[in-house]
Structure formats: C-alpha cells, structure tokens
Amino acid sequence: MAIAEHDNVFIFVPNLIGYARIVLALIAFWFMSTNYVISGWCYVTSALLDAVDGHAARAFNQSTRFGAMLDQLTDRCGTTGLLVTLAYFYPRYMFWFQLSIAIDVACHWLFMQTSVVVGRSSHKVNDNFIMRLYYQKDVLTFMCCVNELFYVCLYLLHFTYGPLIFGASLFKILAFLTGPFAVLKALISVMHAYVAGIDLAAVDVRERQERRQKSEPVSGKKVE
C-alpha cells in the first residue's frame, strides 16, 4: 500500500514507531521495580522496535535527522533507565553500572554531535575501519541485541531464575554468554569517543588556521 508523500516529519511512520517506543519504555520504567513481567515485555518490545523503525524509514523513504536523533535518545534513555534499576538491585556492582551509563551516554553524544559538526549525512558514515565494521547492519544489530540481552537477563535474575536447562538457569547462562559482548560494546563506545575527538580536534585546528589567515595582513599591502 502506497503512503502519500508529505513533509510533516513528526508523523512519518518511523517516528510514530519511535513515539511508541518511548511510551513502552515509560511503562517499563514504571513497573521496573515491582512487576518484571509487564516491565520486561514492554522494555524488550521497545528495544526490538528499534529495528522496525529503521526498516520503515528505508521502506517509506522517510529517513530524517529528527528520526535519527529520536532513535538515539530513546536508546540511550532506555538503557540508562534499566542500568539505574540494576544499580539499585545490585548495589555491590553500582560503580560498574554507573560507568556503563557514563560511557554509553557521553561517547554516543560526542559521536553524534561531531557528526553534525563535520556535516556527515549520518553518524553511521565514518572513515574509521572499526566504525565502518561496527555500523554494518548485521554487526550493529547483533551487538545491540546481545548488549540489551545481557542487562535484561541481569534484571530478570533479580526476580526469577527462569527456565532451567540441565539444572542451570537459562537467564544466568545467557548472561554469561552475552556479558563479554556487553564489555566489547562498551569498548567500542570508547572508540566512538576517540574517533569523534580526533575529528572534532581537526575541525578546531582548521578553524584556528582560517582565523589566523584572516587576521594576517595581505601580502604586498602596506600596514598602517
């Protein structure tokens, strides 16, 4: 079914999906400390819709900067809300959850902001080899899924061991399997900050050089 062309970005299909993600995340936050069933389903559904809005943006030719920013903010805020709850549930590991929040928010914000400053069409477009590899569709989807699965398993383990496989908790098995990928994703986030820092510093150097050239007297003209 064809979608009529219009320029009201706020009601583009992927952005409507984005609003639904926000509502689901808020419901998940509300029940996060009391009802793991409602909260878990809402949180996971919100996270999975992250892939759906991307497909919708491409299918309907509705990729926008607003949608990309909405998507990023929903991802960051959703994960942060879950990590805050995990820090409350597991106070012994609070520092590591705080560190995860700081790395996730700061590094992605710097990377997104730098992409705008240097004029890239998308934050996923970068000359760095690791960034190009990370932002390949299958790699990015896998890393995001296993990262979220790790934190969701930690959340569920606070309430229940879940199904047992040969006497072992399925949630605990998944947490052990996905944990290393969560650490790897955090390291890649640090790489985001490093790459963005290099690019942003290059902009500063270029702008300083341009200002210096403008302030220098033109050759051959007498300076009063």
Q: How confident is the model at residue 51 (pLDDT cuts 50, 70, 90)?
A: confident
Is position 218 within any domain?
Answer: no
User: How many helices, marked H, and strands, marked E, lie in the chain?
Assistant: 7, 2
Q: Which of 50, 71, 75, 104 is catalytic?
A: 75
- Structurally, the chain folds into a number of domains equal to 1
What confidence tens digit (pLDDT) does each residue in 10-41 have? 999 999 999 999 999 999 999 999 999 999 99
Is residue 75 part of the annotated active site? The answer reads yes
What's the rounded mean pLDDT across residues 99-118? 92
Q: What does the pLDDT read at residue 156?
A: 97
Mean pLDDT of the chain: 90
**Quick check: is 57 in a domain?**
no
> Mean of the pLDDT values across residues 139-162?
95
User: Has residue 184 been placed in a domain?
Assistant: yes
pLDDT bin (cut points 50, 70, 90) of residue 1 is: very low
Is residue 85 in a domain?
no
Res 99 pLDDT > 60: yes
Residue range 123-149: mean pLDDT, rounded: 86
DSSP character at residue 189: H
Tokens representing 131 are 């960034």
The answer as to whether 109 is a domain residue is yes
24 falls within a domain: no
Domain that holds residue 146: 90-213
In a domain, 49, yes or no: no
The reported pTM is 0.86
Backbone angles phi, psi at 115, to 5 degrees: -60, -40
The C-alpha atoms of residue 156 and residue 196 are separated, in whole angstroms, by 35
The answer as to whether 23 is a domain residue is: no
